[in-house]
Structure 1
Amino acid sequence: MKLRRDIIKPPRLYFEDESEERHSNWLELLFDLIFVAAVSLLASNLNSNYSFTTFLQSIPLFFAIWWGWLGHTIYLSRFGVDDFMHRFYTMAQMIVVAIMAINTKDALGATGPEFAISYAILRFMLVAEYLRAGRIVPEARALTHHYSIGFGIAAGLWGVSAFTPAPWRFLLWGMAIVVDLLTPLTAGKIHQQFPLHPTHLPERFGLLTIILIGEAVVGIVFLIGTLGLTLETGITGLMGFIVAFSIWWGYFEEARGAEARVEEKGEEIGRYQLWLYAHFPLLLGIVATAMGVKHVISHGLGSVLSSSEVWLLCGSLALALTALSFIFLSSFNWHECVSRVLLYFRIPYYILIILVICTGFLGSILPGSLILGLLTLICVVKVILSLREPPEELMCDIY
């Protein structure tokens, strides 16, 4: 009996090639959903206790989850092949992510060691992929060697932290996150020699973003289903939908965050990095805003939220909108037209962001539903402003 030829394929490099389209496959979409489950479990902490303390505690955990997803996604964008070995290896990673997700909810407490060891295993599996790619693709060995060392050290710190008592465990987590961040940032010109695929990675980011926005909408639907559809829940739920739609519009229509992007060399590499890393505050803001909207719905139309809850809701939305602005600016040639774009497009946009933040001052005066109404109105104005056709003299090159 002959085995199929596609059981094992060697890793290969994907360079910028307009003739070769790459799209996310079904396994990558399934992989996304496992990570979204981890995000949902982490967000349940914020749903139970909507406070700045819980929000700040969630940031390093959210970053670890996002960074784990990003590591696998970037590897596939450069070296991925869809063979049976990759599929089984990805399924194994999904099992590890599922274990990590289960331990996410109390990762700062009782399940911290389990979260750390599962995350360490996930990162070591990524290191193994880079080692294999470096062995089979010798021209990329400098890149894979650099990533293997950096990510391996960070994974080792996560592993050691599993056997370290708190609060020293969290110190090791912070060190591991710093090492993880510095690894790609210190790669210099090495990673520029092997650019990421111009269509695959933006599509992957777009899919993760729309899944999280969809999770926000589903959460509102389930909450209204639990409380019962009334005039109160219907009005606040509608406002939550409009806020979610405005973020969707801002990302896919206005900022065009999921469109093809070329990883330019030289100074313009900053645009690509701005686009990539701006997704972290964007996704964090989406999740925190969604929990805030649910908090308003559960309290009813006339209930006044605490000042800190209102500030967190306004700050979360402002964070998402600011990240969207960075993604928008990353699409333009900074040397030629960023000042013109700022003057025509962004100044009104930043005024709206300031208004979102200033809405927090009304938290002790207005009920939560009216606060959400004001934020919804600002989001509607933002969408309307995005419909403007720029004057011809302001047009400039974008991706």
Structure 2
Amino acid sequence: MTPISHIAHKKVTWLELFYDLIYVAAISITAHVLVHSHHGAIQAGTVIKYFLIFVPLWWAWTGFTVYVNRFGKDDTVQRVAYFLQMAFVIVMAASINEDFDAYYLAFMLGYVGIRLSTALMYIRTWLENDGEPRRIARYLGLTFLGGALVSFSSVLIPGDAKFFVLYLGIFADILLPLLARKKVLSHLPVHHPHLLERYGLATIILLGELILVIVNGLREGHVGVEYMIAAVLGFATTVSIWWHYFESSEHIAEEDRKSSGQSIIYGHLLTFLSLGLIANVLHYDFHQELTVRNFGWLALSGFTLYVISTAVIFLPGKSRLHIRQTLIRTAVFIAVAAIALPLLPSTTAIYAALFLLFAGFALAEGIVRNRGKRSVA
């Protein structure tokens, strides 16, 4: 048997949507780690914890998402794997805490459980297929099995060294598919429209989390002009991100790309991280717990990560001239943000400037896309 499912038209299933919702709940809890500020600043250790917790969640979700994109059959075994992974995600989500060390064991076991089940699905596909599907499933199955076992071995390591072993397994998992992009994975391209749809659905659910921050901010505060301004600017910023992301996504979904999808996969790590940072920008504008300078740096970090991520996701396959022009526009927006956001005199001014940056970025990219369509026509 050789079920090469990426050739057929693929649609996102209700089970995939259910799966995404479970993960986004965990990602939302992870972003909440940054809510803990001290003396008007988010401590460096807290930011590091945010990244260290976020990366395994993103990679666990990505691993099975890409498997289903290439080899999914929606049979009983795959459905059982979905539900098993959801249970492990719940374990991970329940273990997310600023005191990461105290909850380490449960978090690690949840992550390893997800990765082992993904590796076993690849091994199943390896044993059932021939040719390129067999070769690719074998490579990824053994790679992910090895990474999961390295991470699991961290239970044997005392002290902080266990974190090094855990992330050694994770980063080996992440790096090896990148190294095999041309020699192995390019021989069985991903189904780009389906992959974009999956990442797009996760993105829109995360944007919904921004709206939830706004709603909670209004509920927890007193009715007043400052809260209404915060809500309006937060909503306008969210709409600007939606407009840019999904206009760009629909534009490249029309392209006939044949690749391993690495730009989409790895670029969305930065997208998801940026949305977590922006959710905290919204939170801190309502609660005013950061100094103006620290609030500016948080806003700058969220904006910079977002625009870099979209360059990674949406640029591959374009002409060299288009890539150069897009990178120049992106650099200009980052430079303006780097000059303005840390220097503005109030959180409201920073918040308004952040909206203008996102709206301006969406508008500039939209104008360029429309010109490109007219020139082709």
Equivalent residue, structure 1, for 2:224: 230
Distance 1:81 1:370, change over 3 A: same
1:175 aligned to 2:138? no
Equivalent residue, structure 1, for 2:321: 339
- 5+ residue gaps in structure 2? none
> Which structure 2 residues correspond to residues 322-333 of structure 1 after superposition, within 5 A?
322-330=308-316, 332-333=317-318
In the TM superposition, structure 1's runs of 4+ consecutive aligned residues that sit over 4 Å from their partners are 260-263, 389-397
173-182 vs 375-384, greater mean Cα deviation: 375-384
**Does the 8 Å contact 1:257/1:327 carry over to 2?**
no
1:61 aligned to 2:61? no
Amino acid in the other structure paired with 1:235: I
Q: CA deviation at 1:132?
A: 0.8
**Does the 8 Å contact 2:152/2:166 carry over to 1?**
no
CA RMSD of superposed structures (Å): 2.5
Q: CA deviation at 1:353?
A: 2.0
Q: How many Å separate the matches in 1 of 2:217 and 2:364? A: 32
**Does the 8 Å contact 1:113/1:163 carry over to 2?**
no
Distance 1:367 1:393, change over 3 A: closer
Q: CA deviation at 1:150?
A: 1.2
Q: Secondary structure at the match of 2:192?
A: coil
**Does the 8 Å contact 1:305/1:367 carry over to 2?**
no
Q: CA deviation at 1:261?
A: 5.7
Equivalent residue, structure 1, for 2:211: 217
Equivalent residue, structure 2, for 1:319: 305
Q: CA deviation at 1:107?
A: 6.5
Equivalent residue, structure 1, for 2:108: 116
Q: Secondary structure at the match of 2:158?
A: coil
**Does the 8 Å contact 2:341/2:354 carry over to 1?**
no
Q: How many Å separate the matches in 1 of 2:352 and 2:185? A: 46
Distance 1:258 1:177, change over 3 A: farther
**Does the 8 Å contact 1:199/1:261 carry over to 2?**
no
2:4 aligned to which of 9, 13, 19: 13
> Which structure 2 residues correspond to residues 1-399 of structure 1 after superposition, within 5 A?
12-16=3-7, 20-49=8-37, 50-106=42-98, 108-139=100-131, 140-187=133-180, 188-254=182-248, 256=250, 259=253, 262-264=256-258, 272-299=261-288, 305-330=291-316, 332-333=317-318, 337-340=319-322, 342-343=324-325, 345-362=326-343, 366-388=345-367, 391=371, 395=375
Amino acid in the other structure paired with 1:283: F
185-194 vs 205-214, greater mean Cα deviation: 185-194
Question: Taking structure 1 as the reference length, what is the TM-score of the superposition?
Answer: 0.85
Q: Which has the higher helix share?
A: 2
Q: How many Å separate the matches in 2 of 1:129 and 1:11? A: 15
Equivalent residue, structure 2, for 1:3: none
Q: How many Å separate the matches in 1 of 2:167 and 2:177? A: 17
Q: Secondary structure at the match of 1:199?
A: helix
**Does the 8 Å contact 1:206/1:257 carry over to 2?**
no
Q: CA deviation at 1:394?
A: 9.2
Q: How many Å separate the matches in 2 of 1:55 and 1:256? A: 33
Equivalent residue, structure 2, for 1:4: none
| Cα deviation digits, residues 371-392 of structure 1 (max 9, x gap) | 1111112222223323426656
Distance 1:321 1:392, change over 3 A: closer
Q: Secondary structure at the match of 1:361?
A: coil
Q: CA deviation at 1:51?
A: 4.2
**Does the 8 Å contact 2:151/2:168 carry over to 1?**
no
**Does the 8 Å contact 2:178/2:262 carry over to 1?**
no
- 5+ residue gaps in structure 1? 1-9
Q: Secondary structure at the match of 1:104?
A: coil
Q: How many Å separate the matches in 2 of 1:122 and 1:107? A: 22
| Cα deviation digits, residues 239-272 of structure 1 (max 9, x gap) | 111111111111111354772565536xxx6xx4
Q: CA deviation at 1:311?
A: 0.8
Q: CA deviation at 1:292?
A: 1.5
366-375 vs 306-315, greater mean Cα deviation: 306-315
Q: CA deviation at 1:196?
A: 1.3
Amino acid in the other structure paired with 1:142: R
| Cα deviation digits, residues 317-346 of structure 1 (max 9, x gap) | 11112212332322x43xxx3324533x55
Q: CA deviation at 1:203?
A: 0.7
Q: How many Å separate the matches in 1 of 2:34 and 2:334? A: 23
